[in-house]
Amino acid sequence: MASHRKSRPSGTRVAGIRTPALATAALTSVALLSQSANATPEADDKPSLEEVEKKVDDLYRQAESATDKYNSAKEKTTKQRKRVDTLLDDVAKRTQKLNEAREELGSFAAAQYRTGASAPDTATFLLADTPQDYFDQTQLMDRMTGRQKVAVDDYVTQQSETMEKRQEATESLRTLTETQGDLKTAKATVQRKLADARELLSKLTAEEKARLAAIEREKQQEAARKADELARQQAAQQKAQEEAAQQQDSGSSSAGSGSSSSTAPADSSYATKAEKALAFARAQIGKPYVWGAVGPGSYDCSGLTQAAWKAAGVTLPRTTYDQVNAGTTVPLANAQPGDLVFFYDDVTHVGIYIGNGMMIHAPKPGTYVREESIYYDGESAIHSVVRPA
């Protein structure tokens, strides 16, 4: 018997309502369009403002690291070029002396040929492949006059020294070529990193730039708060040290017995030098950061600290990773004005401490030499504090 049950119409249920197939397709299309519209802001894979900020900061950090490599390569190239020039001048002078010694031996040979003398045979010496080949014929040396022996000795000495200096000059030229290659590579890296950072910033809208500036202001406010906190700690420590010194002066044998040189305040000679360095650094405030620059119109970070301490009569190396080893490391809590504050694990930035948690530094491209909290990039960014003199 045929069933009287009606077949279920094709379609799907939406909220408990049975819909025809065409209606279902239409609803599906609307849903997909709605999803696409909602996904549009993220569909273009545009990075968030926080991601842009981090990427730009990373690029500037990488540019600073490459700048240090550039500064090091430039310093090495300059020194190596001077060395090569000195060696080439020396080779030229020695070659001239060698030619003069050869001419003197030649005059002996010519005289010997004209007179038909069979001894001493200086011509044999000049025609020998090497001076040693000649000296192996010891009987010839015995037949030479005193004057001829002196001439031969001079020639051999000049030839040996000239060959040695030529070899040294060749090696120095090879080293110069290598350092010039390092210099070119580092320069290209800096330029590429800075170009990438500019490109990222150029894509920001005016609203995004304003938001980025607001984020930066918040970071500066937090950095200032941390600087104030450090200033209070240092003031308390200074007071405690002064009280301990007073007790010691009054005859207390136990006061301050556990103090070490690392916690003692900087001595007067250091303070005098530091004052000169800081006076110079303050005079540079407002001058632009330019990578690889050492003044007087612009500076990079280590160029500024090097110039500041040079004004105090102290010679510092050119790069941050050399400057960090050019003094005594002290605890941050004991930092004194004039000390150098280094940043990041790879030691790619440096500023000169002025007290109260503040420093003077040349921050990065597009900025100027300025006073700023040492916490400008967070407490974890601080690597060490070094007293350079």
Residues marked as catalytic: 301, 349, 361
Query: Which runs of E-coded beta strand occur in the chain?
Result: 12-14, 17-19, 328-330, 340-343, 349-355, 358-361, 370-373, 382-387
- CB of 387 within 8 A of CB of 328? yes
- Cα–Cα dist 222/375, whole Å: 8
Tell me which DSSP letter residue 339 carries: -
Burial profile 357-381: b = 16 or more Cβ within 10 angstroms, e = fewer: bbbbbbbbbeeebbebbbbbbeeee
In the beta sheet, which residues pair with residue 328? Answer: 387
What are the counts of helices (DSSP H) followed by strands (DSSP E) for the chain?
Answer: 10, 8
Query: CB-based contacts of 275: which residues, under 8 Å, 6+ apart?
Result: 312, 337, 338
Tell me which DSSP letter residue 324 carries: T
- Cα–Cα dist 59/65, whole Å: 10
Residue 118 tokens, joined:
């069979």
- CB of 383 within 8 A of CB of 345? yes
The count of residues in the chain is: 389
Which amino acid is it at 367? T
